[in-house]
Amino acid sequence: MKTINVLVTGIGGPTAQGVLRGFLEKDNVHVIGVDRRAVTSGNQFCDKTYTISRFSDLQAYKAEIKELVEKESIDVIFPALHEEIEVFQEFRHELDVAVALPESDHFDVLADKEKIYGFLQEQGLSRYIPTYVGFSNTEELKPIAEKEFPDEEYIVVKQINGYGALGFAMLTNRENYLRALKEGKSKIVNIDDYADIPSADRRIVMEYLGGTEYSVDVFMHQGEVVTAVPRERTGVSNGIVLDGKVVHNEELIEAAAEISKVLVTDGFINLQFFSTASGYRLTDVNARFCGSQVMSLGAGVNFPYLFIQYKLLGEREEVSPRWNTRMIRFRDHFYVYED
């Protein structure tokens, strides 16, 4: 069997380590890991590691990636950092290797929450979109809140290009804020204080969705859904899932399939939803492998290797998730002897 040489970036982070775990028992996969740090918790999952420049030093970063692609005869690159999506979407055309980002005719909308919502509305998928308004200056926020969300105790603000818990705030009145402060809920903010912070960053303000949170891993091939695996996000801290379960939810599978088909043609994409009394609402799209897709691995769906099978090996794997698989994360450690 042909050996596939894989390059995974950002191996110190949870996304990369979720990808790496998909290759641990694959004898035909040789893993090269890279990070800006020489020693990370991801080193243990790689056959070989390299220290490279940070992606923000773009010229050096691209030169070093190109050098490693040639030196290690790389077949496929798995970018694992959110900030690398834009880098590799352009850079992939300079590389004679597969890049594990989704292929799309509308890639420019995938990293922008406001553009995604607008695009999906144009495609007739408004039923999955929460009530939202875009704004560019905090001076606009309170008038928008008073006009569009007059009866809401809580509203949510997100950066259009935020991910995980970055750029997220739940806004409320002073009374609710003080109660939240006492309870240690750091993401709840007094709307008056938030509006006093000058900022011209483009954001959206949207209705607060207090239902159950779900994430759906989807793999596409030639415009069709190979598999869609919903996951209930039971315990989440700073955007990282600590406790969750793979669930057989046909309504969510259908929603994820409809949305994915208009967004991408090939590859992996992750969609996040909240349940409401009137159905499911889309809250985020990850146009890359996400850290919590490792939950699907436990349910028998190896998305990183599925990408290799479809993109490089010409294999068409039959996917049958083991529903009701629960994943619980815990802290672990290993030792490095530096003498």
Rg, Å, the chain Cα set: 21
Query: In the structure encoding, which two tokens stand for residue 210, read together?
Result: 């207090």
Please name the residue that has the structure tokens 């028998």: 300
Specify the pLDDT at position 239. Answer: 64
Helices (H) and strands (E) in the chain, counts: 11, 16
Sheet strand arrangement including 132-135 = 132-135, 203-207, 155-159, 168-172, 188-190
Place of tokens 């609402």: 281
**What was the pLDDT predicted at 118?**
97
**What does the pLDDT read at residue 180?**
92
Q: Which segments of 92-135 does DSSP mark as H helices, in order?
A: 107-110, 113-122
**Tens digit of pLDDT for each residue in 267-304?**
999 999 999 999 999 999 999 998 888 999 999 999 99
Instruction: Give Cα separations from 200 to 168, 171, 197 (angstroms).
Output: 16, 18, 10
Which residue spans within 177-318 are E strands per DSSP? 188-190, 203-207, 213-221, 224-237, 240-246, 267-276, 279-286
Phi, psi of 67 (to 5 degrees): -65, -40
Q: Backbone dihedral region of 148: left (phi > 0), alpha (psi from -120 to 50 degrees) or beta?
A: alpha
CA count, 13 A, side-chain hemisphere, 48: 11
In the chain, CATH 3.40.50.720 sits at 4-99
Instruction: Supply the pLDDT for residue 165.
Output: 62
Question: Residue 35: its pLDDT value, please?
Answer: 97
Q: How many angstroms separate the CA atoms of 262 and 184, rounded?
A: 40
**Superfamily (CATH H level) for 107-127+210-328:** ATP-grasp fold, B domain (3.30.470.20)
Domain 4-99 CATH superfamily:
NAD(P)-binding Rossmann-like Domain (3.40.50.720)
pLDDT at 238: 64
In the chain, list all ranges with CATH 3.30.470.20. Answer: 107-127+210-328
Taking only the tens place, the pLDDT of each residue in 178-210 is: 999 999 888 899 999 999 988 889 999 999 998
Can you name the residues that pair with 3 across neighbouring β-strands?
A: none
Query: The domain 131-207 belongs to what CATH superfamily?
Result: ATP-grasp fold, A domain (3.30.1490.20)
Confidence at residue 185, expressed as pLDDT on a 0 to 100 scale: 85
Consecutive 10-residue averages of pLDDT for the chain (339 residues): 94 94 96 96 96 95 97 97 91 94 94 95 97 94 95 93 77 94 90 91 94 95 97 76 90 98 97 95 93 91 97 93 91 81
Instruction: Say if CB 111 and CB 79 are below 8 A apart.
Output: no
